[in-house]
Amino acid sequence: MIRHTPLRKKRDSTIPLINVVFLMLVFFLIAGTVAPPLDPNLNLVQTKDLEGREPPDALVLHADGRLSFRGRTTSPDQHILENGTGPSRIVPDRDVPAQRLMEVTSALRRAGASSVILVTERALQ
């Protein structure tokens, strides 16, 4: 009489999963060390107590939607007429609605500005 041995189910191997996790670990270890760390003896400049001022050649877009240039209220068309069609710089208030910012940049481009540059604050985190 012939005996049949029961077939065993082949279990899924976890080796490929371990390999993928290991490769991801190595990738993130290498990617995290691309930028050299700052010298621990370095004291960074503190600017939190300085008075902030916009660049003198930039339009200021206030939180209420007003546009001013060198302290005077203006409009995109008036600004281009008085200052030419070169690049226009805008310093937007942090609380200005994005829709208003887009309206102003579009109006400057329609009025003839060759480009519109947003001036922002860049902080070291």
Q: Among 35-39, 50-54, 59-63, 119-123, where is mean pLDDT lowest?
A: 50-54
- Confidence at 94, pLDDT banded by 50, 70, 90: confident
What pLDDT does residue 84 have? 85
Position 91 scores a pLDDT of 85
What are the pLDDT digits (tens) for 68-78? 888 888 999 99
Of the pLDDT bands very low, low, confident and very high (cuts 50, 70, 90), residue 124 is very low
Give one DSSP letter per residue of 56-108, joined into a string. Answer: TTEEEE-TTS-EEETTEE--HHHHHHHH-SS-EEEEE-TTS-HHHHHHHHHHH
User: How many whole angstroms separate alpha carbon 92 and alpha carbon 99?
Assistant: 12
Tokens of 68: 């001013």
Ranked by mean pLDDT, the top range of 48-52, 55-59, 112-116 is 112-116
CA-to-CA dists, residue 121 to 12, 15, 16, 64, angstroms: 53, 48, 46, 20
Mean pLDDT of 82-89: 86
Q: In what order do the strands lie in the sheet with 72-73?
A: 72-73, 67-69, 58-61, 88-92, 116-118
